[in-house]
Chains A and B, each alone.
Chain A
C-alpha cells in the first residue's frame, strides 16, 4: 500500500534525552514536512524539505534537527535543547517541489516527557 508511515505511535522521553521520530513515505514525493500540534491548537511548522539533501527551518525549529539523506525518509530528532517537547508530531509529504499537489499525512507520534 502506498502511504506515509510514522513510528512509533507513542514515545516517552526522559528529561535530557534525544529521541528520533521516524517518517517514511513510498509515494515518490519530493516534499516532506514536520509539524507540531499542541492540545486544541493548529499545526506549527518545524522543518520542511523540498528535495533530498536539502531542508529549511520552519517557525519553531529550535531544539529540533532533521536529515533528508533519502527521498523516502525524513526523520526528526527532538534534542534535549527543546524545553517543552510534549506534543503530537505530524509528518506530511507532497509531490512538490512546486507544491501544486495534494499533501498526505501520517497518523502522528505522541511524544511525552516523563
Chain B
C-alpha cells in the first residue's frame, strides 16, 4: 500500500520568504502526483498536477518538482504572502489500482 509522508507538519514564516514543502512516497508506480491547498473547514483546491513523465510544473509563485526514482516531490512557494496560509497536501494516484492517497499535510502560517 502506498504511504505518503509530508514534512514538516507545520511551518511558520515571515511574509516574503521563499519556502519548500516536502512530500515523499514509498511506491514509485504512480500516474501522477498532485498538490492541494485546504483552508479551514473547506474542501481541497488543486494547485499543481505533475504527471509521472514530468519533472516539474509551475503556476505563478508555485513550483512543484517530482523525482519518482527517489519517491520525492517538493512544492516551492516564492515570496510568501499571508494569504498563502493554509494546509498543503500532496497525493499520488497509484498505477496498480488507481487509488489516490494523501499525506497528512503541512500547515503553513505566513506572518505579516
Chain A residues within CB distance 8 Å of chain B: 6, 31, 33, 35, 41-43, 45, 48, 50, 56, 58-59, 88, 90, 92, 94, 96-108, 110
Contacts and interface: CB of A to CB of B under 8 A. Distances in A.
Interface string B68-112: 000000000000000000000101011101111111110000000
Contact of B42 (A35, A99, A108): A108
B43 interface: yes
Given A42-B89, A99-B93, 12 more contacts: A35-B102, A41-B104, A45-B100, A48-B100, A90-B43, A94-B100, A100-B51, A100-B93, A101-B32, A103-B93, A106-B43, A110-B41
A33 B43 contact: no
Q: What is the predominant secondary structure among interface residues of chain B facing chain A?
A: strand
Closest 3 CB pairs of A and B: A42-B104, A99-B93, A105-B44
B44 A90 contact: yes
A107 B43 contact: yes
Nearest to A109: B43
A58 to B, nearest CB: 7
Contacts, number: 72
B89 A48 contact: no
Nearest to B1: A59
A33 B42 contact: no
A24 B51 CA distance: 26
Contacts of B52: 100
Interface in B6-33: 6, 31-32
A103 B100 contact: yes
Scoring B36, B41, B49, B93 by chain A CB atoms within 10 A of each residue's CB, the highest score goes to B93
17 contacts: A33-B99, A43-B102, A48-B100, A58-B99, A59-B1, A94-B93, A96-B98, A98-B98, A99-B31, A99-B94, A100-B31, A102-B34, A103-B100, A105-B36, A105-B43, A108-B41, A110-B41
